[in-house]
Structure 1
Amino acid sequence: MADDSVIDSGEVAATISDARLDSVFNTAVDGIIVINAKCQILAFNKACEKLFGYSATDLLGENVNRIMPSDYAHHHDSYVQNYLDTGHKKIIGIGREVKGQHKDGTVFPLELSVGEAATSEGRQFIGILRDLRPRKQIEERLSKAQSQLLHMTRLSALDEMGAAIAHELNQPLTAILLYLQSVSRKATADERLTPVMLDVISKAVKEAERASEIIQRMRQLVERKDPERKEVDVDELVATCLEMADLGAIDEPSIMVAKVDKNLPPLMADPVQIRQILINLLRNAREAVAGQAQRKVTLAVCLGADVLEFRVQDNGPGVSQEVADSLFRAFSGAKHKGVGLGLAISRSIAQNHGGDLRLEQSAPGAGASFLLTLPVKIEETGTE
């Protein structure tokens, strides 16, 4: 009886120990898998089931290469056999990054740690697996955020440099303009000069005035000022935007066309911010059609129900649905020729004005069309 009592106590202790081990095994956050020297799966915990999409009963007794992509699976058995033959450790006791394959075929990164145990049934290997996808996603987002921060830092530096250059250029341009105006007045009074010479001098004065206006507009774009809303003439706004969007393309004919309806009401907006939106859209469109045999960018303006509609269209390759879904999200990493992160800022400006900016649906290969809507100035009417 005493011996039976001891045996019973030992069996109970073993049962409790097994239960504890089973509880730890199946409640562990990380995947735990046990294989033998033949690479057969002996244990496969709940975390592994969630990780790979298989139930333990699907894989027990199967080769562990079932959960590996083909390039890993092809060599795995030979790696294990090489260790059994030589005792040379390449992964045991050392954590490393590997690839796993889900039941649906998805390949994903894993951190793998392998330990070894000598049992009555022979050598066994215990692998602890951790899904690296969440960490990879965080690292990718951090990398994009850092890249964007660096990009914004460069833009900030360019803003300051642009304002300084505009300021410095404005002084010699003003001097040139004054000199030319003085020459023009004296030339007009000198009867010896031919009309051709007078015309050349007059054109020089106009070009100097135009250069001065461009510099002033550039200063307005790069200077950090609080929004100043005022009445904006639409025709003048469109002409200015087309002129500035064409800067840098002086060696080729303009591909930009304006279509502005007649008798449009004025806007009540910050002209600098609205120019920023339209110039961004126009320059994006110009870049988008760079590879086309026939290039065309159109800025059309018409009156909607209670808003002015500014539509920038191009005949480029258009915007794919994948890019369109995240086009206006900051830090989205969306890549598309001619489309920059300025779109998120542009939409914010439009919405701050009580309007909106969106990508219109278009047929595949029909180019892109961006619609900027802004409220018109409401005329106040008195009552008698």
Structure 2
Amino acid sequence: MKIAIIHDWLVTYAGAEKVLEQMLEVFPEADLYSVVDFIEENQRDFIKNKNVKTTFIQNLPFARKKYRSYLPLMPLAIEQLDLSNYEIIISSSHAVAKGVITGPDQLHISYVHSPIRYAWDLQHQYLRESNLTSGVKGLLAKYFLHKIRNWDYRTSNGVDIFMSNSSFISRRIWKVYRRESRVLYPPVDVSNFTMKSDKSDYYVTASRMVPYKKIDIIVEAFSKMPDKKLVVIGDGPDFNKIQRVAGQNVKLLGYQPFNVLKKHMQNAKAFVFAAEEDFGITPVEAQACGTPVIAYGKGGALETVNGLETFNQPTGLHFYSQTPEDIINAISKFEENQQLFKAENCRQNALRFSENHFKDEFKKVVETEYKKRNKKI
């Protein structure tokens, strides 16, 4: 099988790149394509130090730092990739990768982290946070998002098999493309985390500090509960804003290396998570440490955290409004039922999302669909 894997852009090592890494573990001989590739030479292990084939955007002015500004050109760029020599095309897509052009005898499997969020149901949130709700720039942004929605829907017809990273995203795929998808949860390196049953008297949260992560409301909630301790790990543009609302019982550690994050996850009585994520890796990592999760009850957290209301062996609980008051109520409910949350149950739940499980299932889907396609041909 001659295989090409297409990823949106290679600029960092985050959730989508961890999925790509496991795809390359399954198919190490695959050729790799991307809109741009700005991964440093000493950080290329996760793509097996491959020579990535990129688009013309790679060479445009300021592309290294401003590649997102070229989003209007990305549909055109991704369509210029010549994949005609490959039997199997795998796209790892949260933006434009699934829009590559393929032929009728080629198998295109698209693993979708999400349809383009800021063009579909999160458009209005994106426009508000970018101050693009009015004016000439706002009008241009809305026009462009309209055009990219049309392109995104049209190119969904070029995909043979959709895979989604959660049932939540599967519903989003159906909503915007009217296509069924197979759910395969993204890989989490649970083997890197060890369970600890003895817990300390504090809560923890960890995230990049950007608006949609809602770290500010977690900090505000704990600042209203001076008898509860919270440790916050992470940095980002909202750090100073969050620091201003933090009470003395809230400790902001900023960015920390993995071993410090792991230690705090292992020792915390619970991990607090207030974002609406498509999947959300950190709640799974916390459970791998034997730590229960108090999570916003929307998106991927409904699938990764076994809630108090519906499971005999709960691994956490959900709150349903992104407000400090709801978090305060959730903390109170957690402490009233703390004896129900067992470290071993949390760990066992996290194992459902292991890297080995992802690789086995992904390989099975690709090989099965390839055999089906060859029989038809």
TM-score (norm 2): 0.20
Greater C-alpha radius of gyration: 1
Q: Which has the higher strand share?
A: 1
Instruction: Say which structure, 1 or 2, has more relative contact order (CA 8 Å, 6+ apart).
Output: 2
